[in-house]
Amino acid sequence: MDELKALERAVEVAGGQSALARAVKVRQGHVWSWLNRSKRVDAKYAIPVEQATGVSRHRLRPDIFGKAA
């Protein structure tokens, strides 16, 4: 699963962009930007996204946390 697909899955699990944004305490526009501009979650939010959705930080940001085993 690439980073964008992992992020899309996290949004789906959370119940949408707004719900994910609330869960990690950012504005919905941040989530939109992750999806449409950077194509990955901001590194400092990878762990909060993982905690909120169960989508692994290793799948969200393998460049920082390494690939999942």
User: Where exactly are the structural domains of the chain?
Assistant: 3-65
Closest CA to 7 of 68, 38, 64: 38
Q: In this structure, are residues 4 and 39 in contact, taking their beta carbons and an 8 Å threshold?
A: yes
d(CA 69, CA 63): 14
> Percentage of residues in the chain with pLDDT exceeding 90?
94
The residue-averaged pLDDT of 32-51 equals 97
Q: What would the pLDDT profile of 10-24 be if each residue is shown by its tens digit?
A: 999 999 999 999 999
d(CA 62, CA 69): 11
Per-residue pLDDT at 24: 98
Which pLDDT band, with edges at 50, 70 and 90, does 69 fall under? Answer: low
Per-residue pLDDT at 68: 74
- Just give the CATH number of 3-65: 1.10.260.40
Report yes or no on whether pTM surpasses 0.85: yes
